[in-house]
Amino acid sequence: MRNGITPITFIGNLASDPELRYTKNGTPVATLRVASTPRRYDKEAGEYVDGETAFLSCNVWQKQAEQASASLSKGNRVIVEGTLHQRSWEDKDGNRRYAQEIEVHEIGASLLFNEVEIRTPHGGQQRASQGVPESPANTRSETGFPAGDEPPF
């Protein structure tokens, strides 16, 4: 943990459709509820056993909020990376209340159980044969490393 920030990465399913709204300044923010259930294999029973489901409140900002709202829906399996924050307030009875929320840095659909088509802002990926000049970024091998280079591990 650095500077009081708690990083978190988890996988779960959307418990409801994303709720998109805009701040007074016009900044898009999407609120998501993600259900994440731990699962372990019970050797004695010979089957998987589900643990208690955690429902995590997530806030996605800016263009990513609009993209999440347009492309994700209830039940989708997602991978979320962000930071855990706690906020507090006083309820109408004067009691101090607390809530934990995830400020999302990145979110995406899990490919484990989904078929996903990725589109770039420029209409898709282009290949060198389509007129894109050769550069180190365009000459990647199947491993994702520059052609001829081996991974550093």
Structural domains present in the chain: 6-128 (2.40.50.140)
Contact 83, 103 (CB under 8 A): yes
Distance CA 78, CA 72 (A): 9
* pLDDT at site 115: 73
Distance CA 60, CA 76 (A): 16
In this structure, of 36-40, 46-50, 78-82, 127-131, the range with the lowest mean pLDDT score is 127-131
Q: Is the alpha carbon torsion for 99, 104, 105, 109 positive or negative?
A: positive
pLDDT (tens digit, 9 = 90+) per residue, 41-78? Answer: 999 999 999 999 999 999 999 999 999 999 999 999 99
Distance CA 51, CA 42 (A): 12
Distance CA 76, CA 114 (A): 8
For residue 70, give the DSSP letter: H
pLDDT of residue 82 exceeding 70, the answer is yes
Q: What is the number of other CB atoms lying within 10 angstroms of the CB of residue 64?
A: 17
